[in-house]
Structure 1
């Protein structure tokens, strides 16, 4: 008669709990297998095998004891029962051992899972065969197949989870699923069993003499106790391992610090590579330098454990694979546990390189400098490896510690190259900087000039109108000598006003080096007053207090152009801060510096420029003198004004201070170092030559025909003999002909400095070689003093156009 049995519910639940606890314990122990080394790894492998295999067997046996067939006594064959236990432990151990050898290879995990699953099936059915009862047993093939599939699936899952260092929550979840799967496999197998009762006696049947429930509880208790002890051991070992790992990392940091301090570059990198390789337990580690021009990595530092060949020499960067190289160029650490597993970052080129250098897993940390990949530090493993995030973070920390050393050689080579061409580089850089500063000054000047052009052009047109009207009246009143003389004087005054306007523009806009000289700031500001009034406009009152109360005069060392520019810029800033009108005050005060942070001890003149505008808040005031910082709208300011003022004041040994608050206006104080005496204003015209002035033969060279004729007539009227030439080549031809003809040569040459074809400087150089006795007077509308001094020296006579004819006659007489 066929029959099916029943199961005692309490023992069923107990068997499932054993399966779950055994799975959790086995996963925890397997984690220790993965990180263990040598004998410790073998001990944990055996413990994990016993925990899972013994736990599965215990679950199976308790579940068998839960099985009840009404009216049928049951017993177990001791030999087959022990054999089933041996099968469970042996096959489980074989699966874990295969996992430990091969790592996280999907194919190997599947193979090991098949091996372990079939072992579990064998354990189950050998245990079933150990049952002794008055009947026979056969199996439903469908349910047998289902039980086999469940066993293989549960075993594969166990190995997959065991291959990873899971967090506690993940291990609990995995243990629950695995325990239920293992129990499901057993009860599916039990469901496949069909029992046929008979009356035969089984001579070898062993009965326990105690109840099945008691025996099941006893076995379960022993099993759970053993599992708990194993789990506690794993927990303690995990704690000790973390402590040991932390101490090892502390020791490694200290060793690396010693290496960085005591070793030279190559020796340091060699030692660090060895320390990293031993600490991480990899087959190869080292450094590679990217040669960007050739797009190749130069591997010059490499350590191996003896199982892998060293990686030395040059290899194309593309051998890494396009996606891996792209990640490195972005500064990302590349972590690949299995180069031969499916990974979108690994292409055919990467796989070919991995096979060539015998590498299965990589961890590569890039070093970027100036936004470009320069160096890599790498770990290579010949077997697959599940890189732990903690290992990756520690490797990145070590890499950062060695960054400077790894780049030391490259930097040293760059320094050698720099030293080899240092003089040329310094000269080039100096030229670029010079002090760039000229461009900065010019930019600031031109910004302010743009705001002045409208007012100046109006005044200049008025001047030209007066000149034209005067000459028109002279033409009409040519018979009235007194009237002609008066009109000529008015025309001359108007022309002088035009010359002064042009001189102001040139003084403000010309590019020249910073040249300090003794000057009176009161005269500079007074000369600038008309321009300031036009700049400020009708809504703003200009109030100047320039007199020295002590009567000593304001003698300072400064650059007049820079001082003009500074005052004008501050006036423009004040005007922009007072759109609805207000007052701008410029005052001079004596100042004695003692113990000041920004000034050397001594006497100064303080130029104070104050406005009644909106003022600045604390943040704006703090950044006011930063280059390119401006609160003005786009196109209204460059943010260079105060920065330029600050720079020029520091160059002459002065300082700039700013006081401001919202709604209280702004006061800027310039501190100029005092000196003994100031030079007089050099813009006054020279006195006309008096009677008795010596006469000379003069060579007049100017490319403007009208000016050339007027100047020649003036010289001739004074009694000088004048030879004229339109340019430099014509002047040389004239001198050569006179010399060949034996005629008298000119004694003085009045030369325009800027002429097409051959400049006045080039002509002067030729005259100095062939006619060294010839004295030169320069005439220039550009007033480029630096260029003129470079040709003729600082004592050269220079007439700035336009000039009165009396000035030319006096200069010729002095020459």
Structure 2
């Protein structure tokens, strides 16, 4: 900024004058204001004023009051069009504003001086050659005498500070020095405020752009997630369809063969066994799917992890083959976990089979158990402090390729040849770990081997170890006990009642919970056991069981379910549970278990 201010001259003037009287305007008088006091007030006002337009007006007001003039103002310049834009001006009482856009040529020829950076002082517009011809115009706006002080930046004429007076006036050097100081301070303050406002607007614009960009990224990520979900669903659907079609082919083919006439008993038995075996494989497949989705119905109990590992290791040795050395390394005495022991055993076997295949049937597999104080950070999850049991299986295979490491737990993802694996083994481990409150981690070194570690919460040992009551295998006579079968699916209801009749029970069917309660209300003593499906329209099997427990506390309830979201999250609410599909033998076992448990049957004396 190029603005020459005669500070020394102003200082000398202030020292000489002390307090300068302000002119009076008509009948009114204003309080005297020295140039020094005016500058102090200006500094205070500039600090408190926010808007650039207000800053210019504050400066004009203080300038006008201190110099005792008719008008004072500040405006921006357009040198091409030779105009000045005055947003606001200060005017003495009785003087009209000239705010707006004015053309310099309409008021004289002094614009040429301003363009050169010279201050224009006019004592009497009628006598000055630059304004003599336009004196009437100037007198009409109370500008018989005036000072126009240019403000320049980088050599350019950009703004103008002016004072007008309606009478002849001789402008002193002190007036000019004071006015230059006002001009400089005002210009700096105005530009600073404008820069601050521009910065605020820029920040607001940047924040808006960042917010918009963030929304765009979130939308892109959501689209990617949806695409990945669709891909996963497609992979899952394709894998299920492939495996179930194979199973249905065996079942359908065996059923067709059973229809043939003159079929030998040996072939008939073989085809029936094929159907039963295939149904079992289908049941296992659905169980693995539910395990991965963390929707399987677990039957948790407190068990010693080390003992289970020792027991399963014998099975693993058989599965691994003679060329795989299986070693157990237990560093945890009485490490108890609260989980489903059968699912734990299945997880160990799945990991062991995966390790065997990774070693191509030859190498060393080490199964170790040890307590830990935290689960490390895994798959973007933070470290979880606490008491856990770590069960690790380390193999000497070729390791896992880096691009496959993140996908090993996906359902149906497998690197094995077609027909040599469903890709659900590790996904079952993943689902079991998550649903049991634990985690699964894989450490890998390509060419050296992989270590899969299953983490389960460590719990206190039970007061008394559970003693398993051996159950007789096969089916047995129901002894004429009476069972109320509640099932909404007509085909399943017929199968259940026929199976119970074959087992020696008397079965009565009800299509839903309301019908079952109606039959019980007639005479609950007619039934010894209620066998109900879980997922039914209206009242669920769990709600039915809870109502029966309230109304008929001595009547035992067995639940059957292929899948239930409630069962997966909260368990069977204390009821005995039979998972679908179930065999005649499995139904017989759960019925006998319920009878032997001592839960009071409704068959009372009299």
Q: What is the TM-score normalised by the length of structure 1?
A: 0.39
Q: What is the TM-score normalised by the length of structure 2?
A: 0.49
**Structure ranking higher in helix proportion:** 1
Higher relative contact order (CA 8 A, sep 6+): 2
